[in-house]
Amino acid sequence: MCWSLGGKLFLHFLKKIKEKNPDCTLIFYNWDSFKNTPNTSDHLDLYDKSFSFDLEDSKRFQINFLPLFYYDQFNIGLNDSTVKKYDLLFLGTAHSDRYIIANKLSKWCTENGLASFNYFFMQGKLVYFIKRILDPTFKKFDYKKLSFNSLTTSEMVDFYKQSKVVLDINHPYQTGLTMRTFEAIGANKKLITTNSEIKKYPFYNENNFYIIDRENLIVDKSFFENDFQPLENNLYQKLSMEGWLESLFTKRM
């Protein structure tokens, strides 16, 4: 199986694999928007099956639609006894307008008597300074609030256990649902998201998901007062990594 890769060297390598192994099945999966990975759409004809996590991309390129998943570690029961330190939690890589949105919502939480926590990950100090030159949005990032160490899965799960609501800020050029969305579902946590596409998914429930406009941030405090309403068991299974793998290898096209 091949993920979203590109480049002439890779294409040459891929063709050689098919040439040497004519009976093998090549599967392509794109976990990013084709707008962000334009080279990947040029060689879809080389695969036996192709998938995208983005519903609009799957329609446009006429390939299978398969959303992302959550890992088993995020199976946090509704009766988990961990003390909740945070009303709103954001964990994510620093990019685009994430910093601005997350900090505005942190300020809103403070003004409304709620506790929040933000963890902005940056791949490295050199990457940060390059982005400050090339991307105007990075001039607004407070260097001291960035972390250059990625969280382990165990650390992320601990943060989820300590939180009531998770914040999801999708990339402006991405309509597919993020991993954060499915982690929140697996953990039975409510989600505030900038991605209105979530309304198109079978698990959507306005009690569990609150959609915000990234240009006009308005949040109803009452969203924090109710507990997550659990999904049907078959949906948890479908959205798990096991369910994702089953769809990837058994779906025909």
Q: Are residues 131 and 109 in the same domain?
A: yes
Mean pLDDT calculated for residue range 166-193: 95
What is the per-residue pLDDT across 81-108, written as a single tens digit (0 to 9) for each? 999 999 999 998 877 788 889 999 999 9
Q: Which domain holds residue 172?
A: 72-238
- Assess if residue 160 is contained within a domain: yes
pLDDT at 214: 94
pLDDT averaged over the chain?
89
Among candidate residues 209, 230, 231, 204, the one with its CA nearest the CA of residue 220: 209
Instruction: Please state the rounded mean pLDDT for residues 176-203.
Output: 97
Q: Quick one: average pLDDT of 163-170?
A: 97
Evaluate whether residue 148 is within a structural domain: yes
Whether the Cβ atoms of residue 236 and residue 77 lie closer than 8 Å to each other = no
125 and 79 in a common domain: yes
pLDDT at 130 over 90: no
Q: Average pLDDT, stretch 220-245?
A: 95
- Over residues 38-67, mean pLDDT: 90
pLDDT exceeds cutoff 70 at 8: no
Helix (H) or strand (E) holding 61, with range, is helix 55-61
**pTM of this prediction?**
0.87
Q: Is the pLDDT at 243 greater than 80, yes or no?
A: yes
What is the arithmetic mean of pLDDT over 142-150?
A: 78
158 or 1, which is more confident: 158
CATH of the domain at 134: 3.40.50
Strand partners, 191: 166, 209
- Same domain for 142 and 46: no
Choose one of 16, 38, 66: the last residue of a domain: 66
Residue 246 forms part of a structural domain: no
Asked if pLDDT for residue 7 goes beyond 60, the answer is no
E strands in 44-189: 49-52, 64-65, 86-93, 116-121, 146-147, 163-168
What pLDDT score was predicted for residue 138? Answer: 67
Domain count, the chain: 2
